[in-house]
């Protein structure tokens, strides 16, 4: 989903959540039988109420409102002004007006309902609590959570204090409170309350009732929002299974749950799975409802969005138009939900290049939202942003006016999710027009994201960045590119360092520690004063917005004629807001006109600071010893920027990849490396030209022998050792290691070459994992090398407790030869397979008593320790575990990029440790071991029938030699030697 469409999806998903809440919580009420005789007024009122309830449940809100209003009029005519049933009638009218987006009228009716119930029954009566809840949910849904929370807590307290209150009622009120806290971003509190509500439902029904499914659904939505996708999918799947068993596979509730599960799958990029569930939901609902039912509209809207993501634009357009038409018929042409669908359709048309049609729809959405929302509502800012993004290329003056208005509204609303996108778009707008201004807004975007991520860290939002903030990475990349192009290399390196740190937070679910702040990018001297002015304007804007909302609430609560008359306080507030608007315009004009001048005036001072920072980086490279070079890569579109730092110089080389997709090249290279039958050298040479060629002359001139690589994105999925210059692989010219910029603090280095080793291994097959017979040989070779003092723990001796105890004994060398399954973005499903068959989850390894302090090298000669994830994976998981181990004390980590050959791995490991014992650095020792297989110096003995560590079966040795190689070096294919990668400086 493009950034400008993020707001458009969330309400659609929320509506499906509300649908299932309604379906599962309201009792079924039947209509009177045909032919019923004329009844008393009370009976007629009951009949009208039942009919209105049925229409409401069918989402025919206009017809339902007419009947509810008749019921209310009849009760008032009968003189029942203080009766609780009158309060109920007022509430029915209020909730229906809300559905029709007539918010002012809805609030007035809901407040009258509460006042009537309290006057008739007392403020602590259980029925009064119901009206408290209705008003609170209204306030929550119109964006006034601060007013709603005390009402929900009061309703809950009344229920808990009233004898005989059913557990189901308590559970429902807990659920409502949790929903409010979730909407306010207070996720830890919300989760605790959701789980209480779920426990009550499970206790009441035995765990398999529709009510349990509803509670699971709401909990799953929270887990989804906090990025805990594995847990969310489990909860959604359980809820779906319950509904299929209790309601039936073709029930409307089941369709709604499929919609919600599909929303999660779409969010994490599993589009094929999402599409299937969306199509199933649509097929179910089309059997149940009329063709223009709101549920059909929701289904069409959601399916259209996932089809847009997969490029199926023609079908996506047809479904989006159908969804829009259904919304217009059922909600009215000017309802806010219609604005959402109009914007969604506009996004599809924009993707198809039909900008004129898209513009008309974006403008329609804006007009609707301006009619229904307050002038500073985020929905309006989102509409303005969508429209500006569409117009930016061809009508820049119009686009800039829209951006400026949207930016001001975003500040007034205080919504960081919107602000980082607006600042990012402004940065792109000015990139070619005024680079200094573009850099300033780019830093604003990054720092807004940093503040947002700091809040997420406090809420333990696992993986949230990967989904909700996944598109934010482009802001970092584009800002870094701008800084590089302006010669501000030290600042560019700082941007990339921030991105690495954020990726690591994503990997460990944000749980770095209570005292670990999320850093912000510093502003230059020229930028600082403008940033401070903007912060002051933003603070004042938020204060006035809060004051305005409070005044409005007081006015509505008054519910009399004077409330509509101009009030001095509101007049004064409007004048101050107008003055603030003028301040915003003056600030914006000043940034555009004055900042470039300020930057030029202070350029010499800024250059001295840049030079000092780069000199510090060169000293760090010199401290590694030897002739090392740091290569930092930045990929932006079809452009590659390579920042080269040696002890003597800091330079940038650039290359534009014309007519080729580097992402496709990376995939082709990985495919060629995955089997010995394919020759990887053509792909390896093409990548060499783009990734090493631009700096090859610099490396040769500097007599470099060790490359320290800082990679990003999908570059982390390829072994640079296997790049080929036409004559040699890169490993034949350089030792290589991967720089882990997100590692914090320092680790004590060992003097000399450590020889004490703790070796753990698993040789036997376990559920889902084949045997690794050559692990025994691998461990034996290490133990008998004569260079190592080894303690060995195989199979049943390899337990979690034994590993923990060995770590406490501070073995400098820790070698683990077993399956390590890493699932990208899912810490719960990532684990190390222990020798006794148990699994040690990554979460336990991170949180438990597993300190790597004193470990000079952690070697994982397993298969999937750095295996890449699915379609949306960007490589951050490749180095995530290495950074985790280093932050827990390890000096370096040796891992693998793919499933390694069980036959050759023992020889590689033995050669590595022997070279290391001979005094070589870790990087040089790994290079020597890899060259051993490449040259034929290392020739593994076929002791066992061999297989792939972590593969689904075993293969004979002859089958692995299908690559045409020199018989003197049968394992020269990079498949055998290239997957081993070393993390850390490895000096």
pTM of this prediction exceeds 0.85: no
Indicate if the pLDDT at residue 157 is higher than 90: yes
- For 316, the token pair is 């996506």
| Banded model confidence at residue 348, pLDDT cuts 50, 70, 90 | very high
| Banded model confidence at residue 79, pLDDT cuts 50, 70, 90 | low
Per-residue model confidence (pLDDT) at position 620: 80
Indicate if the pLDDT at residue 35 is higher than 70: no
Indicate if the pLDDT at residue 513 is higher than 70: no
Indicate if the pLDDT at residue 310 is higher than 90: yes
**Residue 127 located in a structural domain:** no
Per-residue model confidence (pLDDT) at position 417: 77
| Range name among 120-124, 142-146, 213-217, 462-466 with the lowest pLDDT average | 462-466
DSSP, collapsed to helix, strand or coil, labels residue 280 as helix
Does one domain contain both 534 and 414?
Answer: yes
Average pLDDT over residues 253-265: 95
Of 674, 708, 738, the residue at which a domain comes to its end is: 738
Indicate if the pLDDT at residue 144 is higher than 90: no
Does one domain contain both 680 and 766?
Answer: no
| Banded model confidence at residue 508, pLDDT cuts 50, 70, 90 | low
**Helix pair 294-309, 252-267: axis angle to 10 deg:** 20
Does one domain contain both 706 and 633?
Answer: yes
- For 751, the token pair is 């003097």
Q: Which domain holds residue 689?
A: 627-738
452 compared with 522, residue with greater pLDDT: 522
| Range name among 512-526, 628-642, 932-946 with the lowest pLDDT average | 512-526
Per-residue model confidence (pLDDT) at position 66: 93
What is the chain's Cα-based Rg?
A: 32
Indicate if the pLDDT at residue 248 is higher than 90: yes
Most confident among 378-392, 464-478, 882-896 (mean pLDDT): 378-392
Per-residue model confidence (pLDDT) at position 224: 84
Does one domain contain both 579 and 670?
Answer: no
Quick check: 821 and 768 in contact, CB under 8 A?
Answer: no
**What is the rounded CA–CA span in Å between residue 582 and residue 898?**
59
Per-residue model confidence (pLDDT) at position 445: 93
Does one domain contain both 699 and 787?
Answer: no
C-alpha distances out from residue 350 to 220, 353, 356, 428, 978, Å? 32, 5, 9, 18, 43
Per-residue model confidence (pLDDT) at position 561: 42
| Banded model confidence at residue 512, pLDDT cuts 50, 70, 90 | very low
| Banded model confidence at residue 26, pLDDT cuts 50, 70, 90 | very low
732: domain CATH number? 3.30.420
Indicate if the pLDDT at residue 28 is higher than 50: no
Closest residue by Cα to residue 889 from 827, 807, 818: 807
Indicate if the pLDDT at residue 464 is higher than 70: no
Indicate if the pLDDT at residue 415 is higher than 90: no
| Range name among 32-46, 667-681, 834-848 with the lowest pLDDT average | 32-46
Of 694, 712, 738, the residue at which a domain comes to its end is: 738
- For 341, the token pair is 């669908």
Closest residue by Cα to residue 980 from 887, 883, 908, 875: 908
Indicate if the pLDDT at residue 518 is higher than 70: no
Does one domain contain both 696 and 592?
Answer: no
471 compared with 577, residue with greater pLDDT: 577
Indicate if the pLDDT at residue 953 is higher than 80: no
Most confident among 5-19, 235-249, 448-462 (mean pLDDT): 235-249
| Range name among 92-106, 120-134, 374-388, 407-421 with the lowest pLDDT average | 407-421
| Range name among 477-486, 805-814, 921-930, 933-942 with the lowest pLDDT average | 933-942
**What is the rounded CA–CA span in Å between residue 907 and residue 919?**
19
Does one domain contain both 412 and 519?
Answer: yes
Q: In this prediction, what percent of the chain has a pLDDT beyond 70? A: 84
238 compared with 566, residue with greater pLDDT: 238
Per-residue model confidence (pLDDT) at position 941: 65
Indicate if the pLDDT at residue 709 is higher than 80: yes
Query: Residue 334, exposed/middle/buried by CB under 10 A (0-12, 13-18, 19+)?
Result: middle
Per-residue model confidence (pLDDT) at position 863: 53
**What is the rounded CA–CA span in Å between residue 502 and residue 862?**
27
Per-residue model confidence (pLDDT) at position 328: 95
Q: How far is CA 735 from the centre of its chain?
A: 35
386 compared with 623, residue with greater pLDDT: 386
Does one domain contain both 805 and 896?
Answer: yes
Quick check: 441 and 405 in contact, CB under 8 A?
Answer: no
**What is the rounded CA–CA span in Å between residue 301 and residue 773?**
53
**Helix pair 313-331, 336-351: axis angle to 10 deg:** 170
**What is the rounded CA–CA span in Å between residue 225 and residue 449?**
16
**Residue 103 located in a structural domain:** no
855: domain CATH number? 3.40.50
Of 681, 712, 738, the residue at which a domain comes to its end is: 738
DSSP-derived secondary structure letter, 874? -
**Residue 704 located in a structural domain:** yes
Per-residue model confidence (pLDDT) at position 461: 40
Average pLDDT over residues 730-735: 97
Quick check: 480 and 741 in contact, CB under 8 A?
Answer: no
| Range name among 418-432, 773-787, 909-923 with the lowest pLDDT average | 773-787
Per-residue model confidence (pLDDT) at position 986: 67
**Residue 869 located in a structural domain:** yes
pLDDT in tens, 539-589: 888 788 777 766 665 654 444 444 444 567 777 878 888 888 899 899 999
Average pLDDT over residues 450-458: 62
**Residue 284 located in a structural domain:** no
Average pLDDT over residues 958-967: 57
Question: Is the Cα torsion angle 228, 230, 236, 238 positive or negative in sign?
Answer: negative
Closest residue by Cα to residue 107 from 98, 119, 116: 98
Does one domain contain both 884 and 936?
Answer: yes
Average pLDDT over residues 136-159: 88
Per-residue model confidence (pLDDT) at position 80: 55
**Residue 338 located in a structural domain:** no
**Residue 163 located in a structural domain:** no
Indicate if the pLDDT at residue 349 is higher than 60: yes
| Banded model confidence at residue 956, pLDDT cuts 50, 70, 90 | very low
The rounded mean pLDDT for the chain is 83
DSSP, collapsed to helix, strand or coil, labels residue 973 as coil
Indicate if the pLDDT at residue 822 is higher than 90: no
Does one domain contain both 547 and 424?
Answer: yes
Indicate if the pLDDT at residue 862 is higher than 90: no
**Residue 80 located in a structural domain:** no
pLDDT in tens, 605-643: 777 877 777 787 788 888 777 799 999 999 888 899 999
Question: Is the Cα torsion angle 485, 491, 495, 496 positive or negative in sign?
Answer: positive
Per-residue model confidence (pLDDT) at position 751: 66
904 compared with 517, residue with greater pLDDT: 904
Does one domain contain both 599 and 461?
Answer: yes
103 compared with 306, residue with greater pLDDT: 306
**Beta bridge mates, 630:** 645, 708
Closest residue by Cα to residue 350 from 376, 300, 395, 316: 316
Into how many domains does the chain fold? 3
Does one domain contain both 825 and 966?
Answer: yes
**Helix pair 167-183, 187-205: axis angle to 10 deg:** 160
589 compared with 25, residue with greater pLDDT: 589
Per-residue model confidence (pLDDT) at position 742: 73
Q: b vs e for 739-748, b when ≥16 Cβ sit within 10 Å of the residue's Cβ?
A: bbbbbeeebe
């Amino acid at each position: 989903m493009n950034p400008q469409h993020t707001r458009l999806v969330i309400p659609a998903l929320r509506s499906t959540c509300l649908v299932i809440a309604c379906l599962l919580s309201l009792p079924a009420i039947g209509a009177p039988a045909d032919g019923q005789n004329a009844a008393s007024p009370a009976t007629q009122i009951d009949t009208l109420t039942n009919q209105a309830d049925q229409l409401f449940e069918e989402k025919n809100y206009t017809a339902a409102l007419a009947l509810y209003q008749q019921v209310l009029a009849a009760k008032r005519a009968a003189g029942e002004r203080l009766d609780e049933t009158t309060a109920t009638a007022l509430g029915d009218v209020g909730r229906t007006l809300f559905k029709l987006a007539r918010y002012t009228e809805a609030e007035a009716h809901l407040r009258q309902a509460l006042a009537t119930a309290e006057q008739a029954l007392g403020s602590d009566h259980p029925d009064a609590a119901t009206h408290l809840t209705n008003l609170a949910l209204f306030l929550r849904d119109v964006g006034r959570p601060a007013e709603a929370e005390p009402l929900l807590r009061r309703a809950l307290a009344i229920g808990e204090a009233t004898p005989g209150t059913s557990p189901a009622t308590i559970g429902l009120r807990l659920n409502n409170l949790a929903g409010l806290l979730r909407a306010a971003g207070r996720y830890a509190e919300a989760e605790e309350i959701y789980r209480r509500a779920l426990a009550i439902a499970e206790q009441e029904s035995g765990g398999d009732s529709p009510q349990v499914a509803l509670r699971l659904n709401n909990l799953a939505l929270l887990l989804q929002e906090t990025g805990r996708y594995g847990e969310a999918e489990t909860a959604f799947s359980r809820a779906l299974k319950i509904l299929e068993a209790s309601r039936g596979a073709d029930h409307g509730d089941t369709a709604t749950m499929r919609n919600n599960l599909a929303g999660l799958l779409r969010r994490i990029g599993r589009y094929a799975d999402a599409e299937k569930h969306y199509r199933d939901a649509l097929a179910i609902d089309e059997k149940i409802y009329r063709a223009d039912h709101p549920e059909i509209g929701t289904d069409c809207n959601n399916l259209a969005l996932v089809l847009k993501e997969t490029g199926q634009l023609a079908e996506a357009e047809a479904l989006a138009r159908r969804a829009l038409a259904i919304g217009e018929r059922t909600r009215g042409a000017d309802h806010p939900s219609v604005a959402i669908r109009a914007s969604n359709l506009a996004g599809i048309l924009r993707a198809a290049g039909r900008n004129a049609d898209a513009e008309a729809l974006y403008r329609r959405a804006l007009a609707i939202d301006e009619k229904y929302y307050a002038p500073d509502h985020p929905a309006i800012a989102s509409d303005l942003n969508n429209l500006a993004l569409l117009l930016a290329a061809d009508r820049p003056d119009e686009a800039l006016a829209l951006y400026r208005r949207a930016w001001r509204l975003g500040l007034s609303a205080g919504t960081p999710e919107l602000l980082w996108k607006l600042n990012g778009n402004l940065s792109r707008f000015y990139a070619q027009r005024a680079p200094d201004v573009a850099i300033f807004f780019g830093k604003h975007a990054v720092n807004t994201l940093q503040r947002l991520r700091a809040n997420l860290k406090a809420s333990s939002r696992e993986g949230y960045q990967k989904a909700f903030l996944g598109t934010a990475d482009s802001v970092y990349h584009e800002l870094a590119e701008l800084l590089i192009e302006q010669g501000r290399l030290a600042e560019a390196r700082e941007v990339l360092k921030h991105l690495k740190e954020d990726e690591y937070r994503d990997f460990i679910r944000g749980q770095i520690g209570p005292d670990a702040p999320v850093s912000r990018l510093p502003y230059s001297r020229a930028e600082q004063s403008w940033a401070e002015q903007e912060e002051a304007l933003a603070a004042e804007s938020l204060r006035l917005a809060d004051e305005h909302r409070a005044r409005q609430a007081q006015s509505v609560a008054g519910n009399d004629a004077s409330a509509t008359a101009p009030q001095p306080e509101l007049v004064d507030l409007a004048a101050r807001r107008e003055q603030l608007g003028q301040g915003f315009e003056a600030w914006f004009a000043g940034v555009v006109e004055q900042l470039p001048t300020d930057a030029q005036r202070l350029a010499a001072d800024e250059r001295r600071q840049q030079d000092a920072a780069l000199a510090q980086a060169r000293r760090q490279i010199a401290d590694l010893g030897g002739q090392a070079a740091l290569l930092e890569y930045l990929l932006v579109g079809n452009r590659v920027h390579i920042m080269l730092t040696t002890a003597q110089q800091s330079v940038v080389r650039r290359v534009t990849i014309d007519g080729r997709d580097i992402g496709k090249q990376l995939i082709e290279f990985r495919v060629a490396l995955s089997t010995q039958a394919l020759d990887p050298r053509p792909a390896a040479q093409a990548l060499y030209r783009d990734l090493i060629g631009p700096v090859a002359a610099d490396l040769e001139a500097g007599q470099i022998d060790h490359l320290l690589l800082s990679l990003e994105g999908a570059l982390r999925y390829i072994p640079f050792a296997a790049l080929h210059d036409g004559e040699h692989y890169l490993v034949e010219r350089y030792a290589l290691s991967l720089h882990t910029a997100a590692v914090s603090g320092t680790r004590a280095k060992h003097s000399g070459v450590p020889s004490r080793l703790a070796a753990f291994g698993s040789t036997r097959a376990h559920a889902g994992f084949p045997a690794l017979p050559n692990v025994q040989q691998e461990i034996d070779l290490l133990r008998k090398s004569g260079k190592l003092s080894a303690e060995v723990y195989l199979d049943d001796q390899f337990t979690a407790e034994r590993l923990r105890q060995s770590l406490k004994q501070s073995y400098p060398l820790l070698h683990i030869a077993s399956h390590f399954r890493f699932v990208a973005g899912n810490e719960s499903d990532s684990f190390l397979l222990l020798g006794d068959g148990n699994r040690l989850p990554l979460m336990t390894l991170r949180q438990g008593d597993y300190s790597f302090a004193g470990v000079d090298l952690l070697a994982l000669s397993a298969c999937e320790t750095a295996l890449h994830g699915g379609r949306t994976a960007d490589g951050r998981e490749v180095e995530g575990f290495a950074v985790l181990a280093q932050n827990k004390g390890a000096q370096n980590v040796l891992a693998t990029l793919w499933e390694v050959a069980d036959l050759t791995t023992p020889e590689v490991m033995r050669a590595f440790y022997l070279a290391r014992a001979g005094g070589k650095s870790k990087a040089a020792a790994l290079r020597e071991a890899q060259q051993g297989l490449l040259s034929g110096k290392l020739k593994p003995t076929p002791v066992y029938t061999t297989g792939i560590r972590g593969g689904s079966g075993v293969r004979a040795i002859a089958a692995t030699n299908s690559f045409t190689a020199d018989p003197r070096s049968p394992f020269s294919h990079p498949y055998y030697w290239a997957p081993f990668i070393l993390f850390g400086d490895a000096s």
